[in-house]
Structure 1
Amino acid sequence: MAETGMELLDELSEYAGLDSFNENALEKELELCGKLGVDVEKLKALKFNALQLAEIRKGIVDKIDYKKYFNPKYAWTEMEELRLEMTQGIDMTKYRNEGFDCLQISQIRQGLAAGIDVSQYAKKEYLADQMREIRHGLLKKPPVPVIFFQDPAFDSMQMREIRKGLEAGIDISGYTSVDIPYMKMRAIRESAEDGLFFDAVQIGKYNAAILDQMHRAYIEKIDISRYVKNHFDAEQLEEIRIGLKEGLPIDNYITDDMRGDAIKEIRIGLENGVDVAQYADVSYGWMQMYEMRLGLEHQIDIVPYAKPLYHADQMREIRLGIEEGLDISKFSTMMYTAKDMRRIREAMLSGTYKAFVEDDSTAKTVFDRTGGTKDSKVLLDSMIANRDLYISFTSDKLLCWLKLPLRSDGLEYTEDVLLAFLFKCNVRKGVDKQEIKKMLANLNHSEKYLVAAGKEAVDGQDGYYEYFFDTENEKEPVILEDGTADLTNIDSLVQVHVGDKIALYHKATKGQDGYNVFGEVKTAKNGKEIPILKGEGFMILNDRVTYVAKWTGALTIKDGNIKIEKILVLPEVKITDKRINFDGVVYVKGDVHSGSEITATSNVIIGGHMESSEIKSGGDVIIKGGATCPIRGGITAKGNVTAKFFEGVTIEGKDISANFFINCKITAKGYIRTYGRAGILYGGHCHSTYGIEVASVGNKNGAKTIINLGVDSALLNEYSELKKSISREEADYKSLAKERDRLQEIGAVDRQIMQWKVKINAAVGVKESKLKELRKKQFYYEEEIKKGSNAQAVVTEVAYAGTVFVIDGIVLRLDNDRKTYDKMIFMSDSKKENIIVLG
């Protein structure tokens, strides 16, 4: 039965996420306020939002006079400020009377609460963000000398860079000037922290982006000094730096008058192994280069559109036409705009564009071949007037049939009359004169004769890759007779050696056009070339079709990308071995003994058993012999985690699968699954964002098993804090924008006003960038919450008493065993009020 007892809720609060902000935040806050004795109907009537209600609720819990801000006209940030003032016993009346806004007052209060000298920044000329930077400086132990950035002419971001430089102990004198933008300050500071010091000439000469590229090159130990001296801009420098880092012969193809985007297209082309010489020309813009690079990657002939006079969008239409096997001559002339080209191309694809091919050899006066006799002409005219009695077509006009009924007028059919009749009926292709002669020699008036046949179009074959490794290497486990799964065939490891052939490309073939009996062309589709393989650790030979490994390692393929990573192969791992930290794949053929530690940037594969060890993987973890951690140890993976079994193991990963889980603590960002009809999960706690699929959950002895499904409380709390941050930033932005608009109306009065206007405009720009970044993060959180909203537990055998389900914060404890002959589904109802069981 569904429980609401406070003891159970307290016990499960870590897993249930009951204080989370979600789509039902308003209803939950109303409910919580109601439980604290507030008139819910009054709250509804006053139309408080969820954040305002949260402040009222917190005020009641904090036992302060929340009625001082019990007014829907207060923004929730103002409510929060008043609540915190009362909670901390700080009277901010003085500062309110002096005209400080809510955000400024918050910074002053936080300083007072921390016991610092707020007089150093409690001044009207500071914006709230500037106050914050000075406050952070004063909070340091020991405090940083804020005098270096107390000038209100510095914006908050400039203040931050000076403060961080002081905290890092570097010489900030080179960039402590209001005339240096904060981005340049940041580049100078970060470079100095890494040991690269710019002199006054460099600081004055180069912008922030160029200084940043010089810094990155210094860290990567790449010399870009000659490019800097030759006045390449930051975008150009970035592409050159990346190219040099990857060892690409980029100097052979670039010039100083190419934009950074154009150099990028050359760099990417070199990375992907295409012949960039075909487009590495300053006469092309970067978008034109992009279309030509794509064409080369898709293994087509780009010559038809590699002309500077084509616009990039025209190039695109021609490229697509070539890839689709169309006759591009129909639309590739420069007289057509890209829009016109697209219309013609799409018409050709849909079959609505018809090209007629006339056979001039048949365009001669066949009427003379009737002999010019009166009877022949009468017969021909009669046949034409009643053509449906004589002629018919099948197979989409590929076949033409004649039937010659017995005539009552005694006129006789002749070869010349029949040929003339066919011509009059527009039958121009595939006429079989021999068949007509045979027909006339043995004429059956009730029979149809095939007298003309067209030719079926034969489409070309698309290009394809022949792989020399198992592309389906992630096999499904074999379910044994006892209901457990055998994992010996699960192995995502494909080992290759330097020079091994990994793939061979078979090029597309051209189609052969056909025609119908009217001479209309039945256009065949040419086979499409497909893009070149992308990834790391391999190269294309000069034949442009053979792919070989550049080094020995482990090969993986995902979403069409091939990656060959370095591999460390070990017979086993013992506690006496050094801690393993490897950039690549770690493959242990045998066991990983107790006390071992393995860290890998990619997959970790263990052929034997793992006991009480720490495994950290940047990819998947596969343990064919199972894992037990009775003492210590656990598994953390960015990818999936699979083992024969897990006992007492702490596991974090995406999808987590095994024959059985016993007393484990599991956190899955995807699904938790057991294999076969014997799969069981009992004891411990597990959390899965998307749900679980198990045969049995819990056990006969009533082992306490907590199954928490949906988005976890940590993510929801992060989302809640993010929403608050966005709300604060929006309030700050509105305040700044209002001031900006006011100054706009005043106009350029004096120098001081102009400086203030510049400062406000800069602050508005910073806020806009920050809000954009926060909203992008908000979108990610909302997508994860949406995915987790339909989480459910699927049980195909039995759910034992003692199992506790927590779905969307709703708790269901099983007091009795529940068995099924098919499957049971535990899920929250549509209103997220109860857990229902289907099946």
Structure 2
Amino acid sequence: MATQEADLISEFNVYSGLDSFDQNSLEKELDLCKYAGADVDKLKALKFNALQLAEIRKGLTDKVDISKYLDPKMPWTEMEELRLEMTQNIDMTKYREEGFDLRQISQIRQGIQNGIDVSVYAKKEYLADQMRELRLGMSKNGGVPIIFFQDPQYDNLQMREIRKGLEAGIDISSYAAVDVPYMKMRAIRHSAEDGLFFTDQEIARYNANILNQMHKAYLDNVDISRYIKERFDGDQIEQIRIGLKEGLPIDDFITGDMRGDAIKEIRIGLENGVDVGKYADGAYGWQQMYEMRMGLEHQIDITPYSKPLYRADQMREIRLGLEDGLDVSQYSTMMYTAKDMRRIRELMLSGEYQAVLPDETPEAIALDRTGGIKDDKVLIESMIENKDLYLSFTQNNMLCWMKLPLRADGMEYTEDVVLAFLFKCNVRKGINRDIISDMVKEHNHNQKYLVASGKEVIDGSDGYYEYFFDTEANTEPVILKDGTADLSNMDLIQVHVGDKLAEYHRATRGSDGFNVFGEVVKAKSGKEIPILKGEGFMILSDRVTYVAKYTGALTYKDGIIDIQKIMVMPEVKITDKKISYDGVVYVTGDVNSGSVIYASGDIIIGGHMESSEINSGGNVIIKCGATCPIRGSITAKGDVSAKFFEGVSINAKNISANYFINCTINAQGLIKTYGRAGIIYGGTCQSLFGVESAVVGNKSGAKTIINLGVNGALLGEFNAIQKSISREEEDLRTLTNEKNRLQEIGAVDRQQMQWKIKINAAIGTKESKIKELKIKKEKLEEEINKGSQAQAVVTEMVYAGTIFVIDGIVYRADSDRKTYDKLTFKADALRENIIVIEG
């Protein structure tokens, strides 16, 4: 493995946020210092941190006098500056004595190194970031007249916009003024670079947001002048502009008193085909609109919560209940807070909530007909005392059985006595009078009679889609009996304008039941499911039928339908012009040598590809393989698959074929071959997740490198961001100290007040920059963590000469190794070596 990449991996281990407090990271940096000739015992005793040790190591490598910064109290950024000064043979003592801070000194040094007259900006009134802009403006390669932004009253961001404008060759006089904020400067500059020039009146009248929208409307070729005249703000106009660009009837639903976020909810609703008229009302805030839009997208009746007096969080609880098929009337009263609603909803979902029962019906009350019948009353009271002998209940109180006790007085039972007894025992529903009549007539005291039956609950059915295309089509190649992949059946789903794609069958509500006690057993209403999302189709006025808006190629995944316009060609030859198409390109035959195809969607080649350049915004499928004896490349944002690849450079997500020969592969996902004959030999395979192949390498010993896990480019980017964060935080501390100093002395004069304003602005900028860098760092850490479990799985043979590099650890196969199950190559937990697991 290259030394540079090994250094990057070492630095990642040292600097990563996950390992920064790990003693093992320090040990690794100490080992590197020892290798560079340092006295490790002394470094340990002085307790340098990892970043400081890195500067000591670099100083030893650069052969400078590290004793000048061998101080554990010195920040690593100051160490770095001293090391660079010695490496570049630049003496900055004079500027230190004059009181310039570390960042200012760094900018002055860089200017001296580049042969610039630093006296122009080596002045105390300039902050380091301002110095940087002046230095870049004075660059020997394409310098600009810095007189236009040399005034210290400009902040560094204003200086940058003026410099960028001068570099672009536009007239900066329209915005090169101290009182023009940098965001407005940027909007004017970007617009001028695209050919739109604002008048002086427009620049004076409108803020940066409005100017940005005017610029974007110019690029989108839509007219927003009416909304500007009517004084809509930038956020409102942005949503209107997007709606107009997409041809949405947004004017029919918006008013000037709606915030931009509210108009956004209307726009998204129109895009998704819901009836926005149900919530496009200025009485609703955007969060309320969001809850109603989500309800419509889930195809529920939003009427129960379409009331402006509900708070958005209350609306949410009612919406979620409706989506789950609950009886929201149990908690939708406004007396409940959203927290109360959530508690009741969760109890209802768990089955622990006892519904409020309706009042007793007149029919049930009428059963008590014993009033005034004294003898029967005594009998009934006697029966009630021993009711467990005569009454029994089954099937969760859905059935009530009764047998009559033998009367000691020899009298017969009447239906009224039985009915009164049942009523006193709370049996109120489903009473069968015919059976009771038979029971009192037959006088069979040993037989149980089914005197009452509840009503079984019938739950509703969930909504579902009926699709009129094959939702499982062309997702994976067909694996043949020998294990190889056949791509011949991987084809496009082609649809034509007006084709019916899907029909939604709405959920049913269900029917409530009850037990013999009259307790309601609530039916579970079926759940509606969200409307289909995607592009290239529309919902008809019946709100259930989906049809294609135009002819194209359809893809379906995770409930998302995407129809892209399609270009179909019999073949592509070198004599054809470069193909660049916004949609799917389908070549039914071959792509001959020297061809170039760019497509925003998938590229499918029905035949063979030879020495061509393919660039896809989606997936690439080559049914008959790719051979590139001269040069050829495939770049895709999605997956790439072919029958085989020979001599091809491939950059994609997941990459698969029956075999790869002498290819250069970079996969953000997995590299895979099919079948027992699947082989990778020659070339280099870089994969973030891993490799799966039957055979790796070959008998002839062609150099085959399998590089897994995080690559040098990703590590380099991570380390650069980590260092940038540390440097920016150091700068922020310097600025904060200056801010605190100024607060102590107070506002003495106008000049100091301006300096205080400049410092506060610089602090705000630094804080924003640090936040932005940390977000980027988190995303990179996520990618790096994905690659930490990368492994190579070989199911047949690894040939001698094959090189595995996993997380920077190198393993060379010195001899052929066959397996009757599989070999798994992966780095061990400590990343000190690669282990090979048999089976």
- TM-based fold match above 0.5: yes
Aligned to 2:362: 360
TM-fit CA distance, 1:77: 0.9
TM-fit CA distance, 1:50: 2.0
Answering whether residue 93 of structure 2 is matched by residue 93 of structure 1, we say yes
Render the CA deviation track for 1:287-344: whole Å, top value 9, x for unaligned: 2222222222222222332222222222223323332333333333333333333333
Answering whether residue 246 of structure 2 is matched by residue 246 of structure 1, we say yes
Alignment check: 8 A CA contact 1:291 1:312 kept: yes
Aligned to 1:830: 829
Between 1:750-759 and 1:516-525, the stretch displaced more is: 750-759
Aligned-partner residue type, residue 354 of structure 2: Y
In structure 1, what is the Cα distance between the partners aligned to 2:758 and 2:81? 26
Aligned-partner residue type, residue 511 of structure 1: G
In structure 2, what is the Cα distance between the partners aligned to 1:247 and 1:482? 53
Give SS of 2:680's match.
strand
TM-fit CA distance, 1:437: 3.9
TM-fit CA distance, 1:226: 2.0
Aligned to 2:525: 526
Q: Which aligned pairs between 1:189-268 and structure 2 lie closer than 5 A?
A: 189-268=189-268
1:395/1:525 CA distance change after superposition, 3 Å: same
In structure 1, what is the Cα distance between the partners aligned to 2:379 and 2:824? 80
Give SS of 2:568's match.
strand
TM-fit CA distance, 1:700: 3.5
Give SS of 2:203's match.
helix
Aligned to 1:577: 576
In structure 1, what is the Cα distance between the partners aligned to 2:723 and 2:37? 26
In structure 1, what is the Cα distance between the partners aligned to 2:483 and 2:271? 49
In structure 2, what is the Cα distance between the partners aligned to 1:203 and 1:310? 42
Alignment check: 8 A CA contact 1:16 1:807 kept: no
1:410/1:79 CA distance change after superposition, 3 Å: farther
Aligned to 1:808: 807
In structure 1, what is the Cα distance between the partners aligned to 2:46 and 2:5? 33
In structure 2, what is the Cα distance between the partners aligned to 1:481 and 1:324? 46
In structure 2, what is the Cα distance between the partners aligned to 1:557 and 1:721? 39
Q: Which has the bigger relative contact order, CA under 8 A and spacing at least 6? A: 1
Give SS of 1:173's match.
helix
In structure 2, what is the Cα distance between the partners aligned to 1:384 and 1:823? 76
Aligned-partner residue type, residue 430 of structure 1: G
Alignment check: 8 A CA contact 1:497 1:549 kept: yes
Aligned-partner residue type, residue 159 of structure 1: M
TM-fit CA distance, 1:578: 1.4
In structure 2, what is the Cα distance between the partners aligned to 1:807 and 1:676? 24
Alignment check: 8 A CA contact 1:432 1:451 kept: yes
Alignment check: 8 A CA contact 1:17 1:712 kept: no
Alignment check: 8 A CA contact 1:628 1:647 kept: yes
Render the CA deviation track for 1:642-700: whole Å, top value 9, x for unaligned: 11111111111001111111121111000111122332222211011011122222233
In structure 1, what is the Cα distance between the partners aligned to 2:428 and 2:598? 75
Give SS of 1:715's match.
helix
Render the CA deviation track for 1:420-455: whole Å, top value 9, x for unaligned: 332222111112232334445567666544332211
1:359/1:105 CA distance change after superposition, 3 Å: same
In percent, how many aligned pairs have the same letter? 70
TM-fit CA distance, 1:707: 0.8
TM-score, normalised via structure 2 length: 0.94
Q: Which aligned pairs between 1:242-641 and structure 2 lie closer than 5 A?
A: 242-351=242-351, 352-357=353-358, 358-364=360-366, 366=368, 368=370, 372-373=374-375, 379-403=379-403, 415-439=415-439, 448-491=448-491, 493-641=492-640
1:27/1:580 CA distance change after superposition, 3 Å: farther
Aligned to 1:21: 12
In structure 2, what is the Cα distance between the partners aligned to 1:435 and 1:14? 89
TM-fit CA distance, 1:27: 3.4
In structure 2, what is the Cα distance between the partners aligned to 1:688 and 1:412? 90
Between 1:14-23 and 1:744-753, the stretch displaced more is: 14-23
Between 1:713-722 and 1:452-461, the stretch displaced more is: 452-461
Aligned to 1:667: 666
Aligned to 1:6: none
Aligned to 2:794: 795
Aligned-partner residue type, residue 90 of structure 1: I
In structure 2, what is the Cα distance between the partners aligned to 1:15 and 1:77? 23
Alignment check: 8 A CA contact 1:355 1:520 kept: no
Aligned-partner residue type, residue 741 of structure 1: N
Aligned-partner residue type, residue 306 of structure 1: S
TM-fit CA distance, 1:623: 0.7
Give SS of 2:110's match.
helix
Render the CA deviation track for 1:708-751: whole Å, top value 9, x for unaligned: 11011110011001111111111111111222233233333322
Aligned-partner residue type, residue 820 of structure 1: T
In structure 2, what is the Cα distance between the partners aligned to 1:643 and 1:617? 15
1:14/1:45 CA distance change after superposition, 3 Å: closer
Alignment check: 8 A CA contact 2:589 2:606 kept: yes
Q: Which aligned pairs between 1:776-791 and structure 2 lie closer than 5 A?
A: 776-791=775-790
Aligned-partner residue type, residue 706 of structure 1: I
Give SS of 1:789's match.
helix
In structure 1, what is the Cα distance between the partners aligned to 2:694 and 2:544? 48
TM-fit CA distance, 1:569: 0.5
1:196/1:40 CA distance change after superposition, 3 Å: same
In structure 1, what is the Cα distance between the partners aligned to 2:741 and 2:651? 53
TM-fit CA distance, 1:140: 4.5
Aligned to 1:67: 67
In structure 1, what is the Cα distance between the partners aligned to 2:777 and 2:450? 70
Between 1:800-809 and 1:361-370, the stretch displaced more is: 361-370
TM-fit CA distance, 1:30: 1.7
Aligned to 1:4: none
Give SS of 1:21's match.
helix
Alignment check: 8 A CA contact 1:15 1:806 kept: no
Give SS of 1:248's match.
coil
TM-fit CA distance, 1:17: 5.7
In structure 2, what is the Cα distance between the partners aligned to 1:499 and 1:40? 76
Answering whether residue 49 of structure 2 is matched by residue 49 of structure 1, we say yes
Aligned to 2:713: 714
Aligned-partner residue type, residue 434 of structure 2: Q
Render the CA deviation track for 1:784-808: whole Å, top value 9, x for unaligned: 0111011111222222222211111
1:679/1:403 CA distance change after superposition, 3 Å: farther
Give SS of 1:752's match.
helix
TM-fit CA distance, 1:762: 1.1
In structure 1, what is the Cα distance between the partners aligned to 2:401 and 2:39? 89
The count of aligned residue pairs is 827
Aligned-partner residue type, residue 29 of structure 2: E
Between 1:638-647 and 1:169-178, the stretch displaced more is: 169-178
In structure 1, what is the Cα distance between the partners aligned to 2:610 and 2:451? 82
In structure 1, what is the Cα distance between the partners aligned to 2:217 and 2:188? 14
1:311/1:328 CA distance change after superposition, 3 Å: same
Aligned to 1:820: 819
In structure 1, what is the Cα distance between the partners aligned to 2:6 and 2:671? 16
TM-fit CA distance, 1:406: 6.8
Alignment check: 8 A CA contact 2:370 2:420 kept: no
Q: Which aligned pairs between 1:679-698 and structure 2 lie closer than 5 A?
A: 679-698=678-697
Alignment check: 8 A CA contact 1:359 1:519 kept: no
Between 1:417-426 and 1:130-139, the stretch displaced more is: 417-426
In structure 2, what is the Cα distance between the partners aligned to 1:629 and 1:494? 29
In structure 2, what is the Cα distance between the partners aligned to 1:773 and 1:399? 67
TM-score, normalised via structure 1 length: 0.94
In structure 1, what is the Cα distance between the partners aligned to 2:684 and 2:663? 6
**Aligned Cα root-mean-square deviation (Å):** 2.2
Gaps of 5+ in 1: 1-8
In structure 2, what is the Cα distance between the partners aligned to 1:263 and 1:304? 23
Give SS of 2:594's match.
coil
Alignment check: 8 A CA contact 2:792 2:826 kept: yes
